[in-house]
Structure 1
C-alpha cells in the first residue's frame, strides 16, 4: 500500500511538471509570436520614420538639395555682380523602353502581389499591400516618355525663386543684354529653362536656343568619338553587369521574391522596373514616398543605387575620364570668361545653362570632386565610397558660381563662391570661396579646352 501511494504521488508530480512545462512553452511561443508580429509591424514601410530615399540619378532634387538663401556666403563690404550656373533638367518621365517594362509590372505583378498577401505567402505589411493596391499611376508618366514632369518643372521654378530671393537687387528688371539662359537639346531641357526663368519672377525673359551648337551645354552630344567609344558601346556597362551577377545582387533578387511570396525570382529587368516605379513615383516636392518602395528593404535600395553609380561612373565619370576630363572643361571655360567680363564692367548679371546628367558628371571629373582612391568595381561595393550619383547628378542637380566684388581702400578685390545643389562646395578653396587668384589658377587652364578629341561631329541626337 505504501509503495502504491508513493508511486501515485510520483506520477502526480510528473503530470504536474509536464502540465507546467507545456503551459510555459505555450506562453513563451505566444510571446515570441507577439514579439515577431510587433517587430514586423514596426518594420513596415508605410510607418517607417527613416526611409531610404536615395535613388541614384533618379532621386528627386528636394531630397538632396540645400538652400542658397541660407548657404550664401556673405562677406562684409562685398556685393554680388554676377551669377553663373549650370543645371540638369528637372525630374522627367522614364524613357519608352523603361515605360514598357513598368507597364509589364503593373499588368502582371500588381495583382499577384495583392493575392499573394491575401493567401498568406507575402511578408509585406497589410497597409503596404493596401497602398500598392490602391495606387493609381499618373498616365503622363508612361504616355509621355522623357518629358519633364510637373514635379520637375516645380524643381527648377523653385530654384529660380530662391536665387531671385537671394540676389533681389542684382536680378530685378533684367535687360536683354544682362542675362543668358541657354538649354541643350530636348523639350524637357527647354521646359526646365522656362521654369527657371519663371521662378525668377519675370515672364518676359527670353530663352536662347542655339540648335546644333552645344559647346557649353552638351558637347558630348555632338562628339563623334565619345558617342561611338562610350555612349553607344555596350561594354561601358560591363562593371554594372558584373555586379548584377554577384552573390550580393542575387540575394537581393531572392529577398524580393520571398517578401512578395513569388514562386520564382524576378529577372534583373523586372527588378529594375519595380525600382523605377518606386523612384519615379516618389514625390519629393510633396514629401510623399512611393508605396512601391515597400517591395525593397533599405539594403536592397542601396544595392540598386550602386548599379546606378557604376553606370554613371563608366559612362560619364572617372571611368570615361579621357572624354569627361576634356569635354567637361568647355562649360567651365565659359564661366571664367563671363566673370572676367563682369570684372571689366561689361559682363552679364546671370548666365544659366540647362543640360543632362552627362554634363554634370563630367564637371565633377574636371573639378576632381568625390574621387575615390581606387576605381568603382562590380565585384565589390565600397560602402564608404565618395562617388555617389545620388548627390552628383540627380534631377535638377546644379553648380552655381557667384562673383563678389569687395571694396579694398581705393580699389576692388574679387572672390568667387561655389555651390553644388545649393550647398557650399567646400572641396574648392576655403570652404567653397576662392580668391580671384585661386579661381584663376583652377580655371585658366580650361581656356585651352577644345573638342578635337571628338574627331568628327555626331548628328544623331538622342
Structure 2
C-alpha cells in the first residue's frame, strides 16, 4: 500500500540558544519578540487540536498505569484513530495559495514598508518561509492519505501495547485470539496494516482475516446513516461560527496581519490556511520546523485550537444528547467482549476522530460542567473536552479486563485514553468493578440498538435505508463477481 511521504522544503535545523518567550514584552496577549525557529521547547505544539501529533516531545512513556498490583490483564478492547494524514482535497486548494501569500509577506519585510506595532518575524523564521514551497506531489489523488509519520506512529503504538501485554499479544497471529476491523478508506486501512505489522511483523495484514467492509461500517460508523443537523454544528448561528466572528478571533487576525507586515487585515481564510499548514507539517515531520507556525505567537494557538473543539463538541460530543446514542452497537461490542471468557483475547478497531469522540461521549467522559459555547472560551481554558489531549492523530482508547483473585470482586476493568487512565468517580483510582461497568452502561444492553442509535428521526425508516444500502452493495458485488 502506498504511504505518502511529504517533504517540507527548506526546513533547516537551528542549534542556537532557545528564546524564552515568556520573558518577552506582552502586547495584546502575546510576546512580540517570539522566534519559532529558535524555540526548542515549543509548548504550543501540544495544542494543535485534532491534528496534534501523538508523539509530541512532552509525551511521557506511561506504561506503568497498565500495571495493577496482584492483578493480571486477560483481555483488551482497543479503538484507534488513524495516524497523521494529508489534507482533504478541498483544503489543498487553499493551502496551495499560500505560495502567493508567502511572497507578499517576504515583500513586506524586504521593503520595510510595514506599519508594524510590534517587531517583525525574526530572520531565521523569514529564511524558513523564503525556502518554503507547496509540495507538488500532494494532489487531490492523495486526498486524506496516511503519511509515513502516521504509519510509524501507529506501528510504534502497536509495539508499545505488545510490550505492555505480552500474555495477550503473542508473537504469532491466531484468528481465534485476535479480531481486527477498519473503515473503508486509505488512512484507516493503512493504519490497520501498520498496527498489525507492529504486532506480528512485516506484511502481517496479508494473512489476517478482517470482516467485510459492510459489517465494519455498520459497527464503526452507524452515524453515517443518521440525519445530521449541519446548521447546528457549523451553520451561521452555530457556536462555531459565533466564535469565528468573536472579538478574540478578530483581534487575532489583526495581530497576525501586523506581525506579517500587512497594513490591512488578512482574510480569515488566509489566517486559517496558515494555521492548517503549520499543524499539518508539524504532524508530518516532528523534528522539522514549519515556517507557517512562525506566523503566530504561542498564545494565539490556544485561540485557534478552540474552533475545532467547538465544532466537534456539537458534532460528536456532549453538545447534543443524540450523540450518546450513535455508537450503541459499539458499546455493546465492547461489553460483550469484556464479559465473555472465550476468545478473542484482543479486539482492535481502526477508525476516525468522530467515532472515537462519540465513544467517549457514550461512556460519559470529558464532559465539562459548563457547555462549550463561543462566549465560554476564556472560562473553559482548563476544559476537559480538549481534542489536543483526547483526540490527536493516532489517539487510542483501551478497555482492559483484569483478573484480581485477592479482591472480593475479582473481575476488574480499567479504561485508558492515549495510554492515560480515565478516572471515573464511580471507580477506585480508575480501576472499576466489572459489575459496576455493566450497571453503568446497561442502557445500551437493554435496548435494540437498531432502533435506538438514530435519535430524533424516524428510526425504523433510517435503519431501513441502511439495510437497503447494504443490500444494494451486496447485489453490486454479486453482479461483478459473476
Asked if Structure 1 and Structure 2 have the same fold, meaning a TM-score greater than 0.5 normalized by the shorter chain, the answer is yes
Indicate the structure with greater helix content.
1
1:254-286: CA deviations, max 9, x gaps? 111100002332222111111111000004773
When residues 231 and 219 of structure 1 are mapped into structure 2, their CA distance, relative to the original with a 3 A threshold, is farther
SS, match of residue 351 in structure 1: strand
Partner of 1:254: 254
1:273 aligns with 2:273: yes
For 1:366 and 1:105, locate their aligned partners in 2 and report how far apart those are by CA, in whole Å: 40
Between 252-261 and 390-399, report the one with greater CA deviation: 390-399
Pairwise CA distance, 1:113: 1.7
Give a deviation string over 1:214-271, Cα, whole Å, max 9, x none. Answer: 23312212x2324xx3499753872111111111110100111100002332222111
- How far the C-alpha of 1:347 sits from its partner, in A, is 2.3
- Which one of the candidate residues 75, 79, 96 is aligned to 2:89? 96
Residues 91, 247 of structure 1: CA spacing in aligned structure 2 closer, same or farther, 3 A cutoff? same
C-alpha distance in 2, partners of 1:451/1:41?
A: 56
C-alpha spacing 1:384/1:168, structure 2 compared with 1 (3 Å): closer
Q: Secondary structure at the match of 2:385?
A: coil
User: Mean alpha-carbon deviation: is it higher for 153-162 or for 61-70?
Assistant: 61-70
Residue of 352, 357, 368 corresponding to 2:364: 368
Match in the other structure for 2:74? 81
Kept after mapping to 1: 8 A contact 2:183/2:189: yes
Structure 1 gaps of 5+ residues are 1-34
- Residue 418 of structure 1 pairs with residue 409 of structure 2: no
SS at match of 1:407: coil
Alignment match, 1:128: 125
Residue 337 (structure 2) pairs with residue 338 (structure 1) = yes
The DSSP-based 3-state class of the residue aligned with 1:62 is: coil
CA offsets 1:296-339 (integer angstroms, 9 cap, x no match): 112221111011111111111112221x1101333221111011
Partner of 2:105: 113
1:90 touches 1:148 (CA, 8 Å); kept in 2? yes
- The match for 2:16 is none
Q: Secondary structure at the match of 1:319?
A: coil
1:323-362 aligned within 5 A:
324-342=323-341, 346-362=342-358
CA positional deviation for 1:160: 0.4
Pair 385,204 (structure 1): closer, same or farther in 2 beyond 3 Å: closer
Matches of 1:443 and 1:377, distance apart in 2: 28
Structure-2 residue corresponding to 1:212: 214
Segment of structure 1 superposing worse, 140-149 or 85-94: 140-149
Per the TM alignment, residue 135 of structure 1 is displaced from its structure 2 partner at its CA by 3.0
Size of the aligned set, in residue pairs, is 414
Per the alignment, residue 9 of structure 2 pairs with: none
TM superposition shift of 1:389:
1.6
**Inter-CA distance 374–236: structure 2 relative to 1 (3 Å threshold):** farther
State the partner residue of 2:178: 179
Within 2, Cα distance between the matches of 1:285 and 1:294?
16
Return closer, same or farther for 1:310/1:207 CA change in 2, 3 Å cut-off: farther
Structure with higher Rg: it is 1
1:210 Cα offset (Å): 2.4
Q: Paired residue for 1:430?
A: 428
Check the 8 A contact 1:236/1:314 in 2, yes or no: no
Q: Is the 2:52–2:283 Cα contact (8 Å) retained in structure 1?
A: no
Change (3 A) 1:244 1:40: closer
Task: Give the aligned partner of residue 162 of structure 2.
Answer: 164
Residue 198, structure 1, aligned to residue 194, structure 2: no
Single out whichever of 268-277 and 443-452 deviates more from structure 2. Answer: 443-452
Measured after TM superposition, the shift of residue 392 of structure 1 is: 2.1
Distance 2:193 2:135 in 1: 23
CA contact (8 A) 1:278 1:292 kept: yes
Unaligned runs of 5+ in 2: 1-23, 471-482
In the alignment, the residues of structure 2 paired with residue 40 and residue 163 of structure 1 have an alpha-carbon distance, to the nearest angstrom, of: 41
CA distance in 2, matches of 1:395, 1:193: 14
User: What CA deviation, in whole Å up to 9, does each residue of 1:184-240 have, x standing for no partner?
Assistant: 22111111111110111334351514222323312212x2324xx349975387211
Q: Does residue 1:401 correspond to 2:399, yes or no?
A: yes
Q: Deviations over 1:73-131 (max 9, x none)?
A: 2322x32221111011111111011111000112x111122222222237111111111
Q: Which residue does the alignment assign to 2:37?
A: 46
Which residue pairs with 1:69 in the alignment?
A: 63
Against the structure 1 CA distance between its residues 66 and 207, is the aligned structure 2 distance closer, same or farther, given a 3 Å change threshold?
Answer: farther
CA RMSD of aligned residues (A): 2.7
Shift in Å, 1:41: 9.1
Is the CA contact (8 Å cut-off) linking 2:233 and 2:239 kept in structure 1?
Answer: no
Matches of 2:237 and 2:352 in 1, distance apart?
19
- Change in Cα spacing, 1:321 to 1:392, as seen in structure 2 (3 Å) is farther
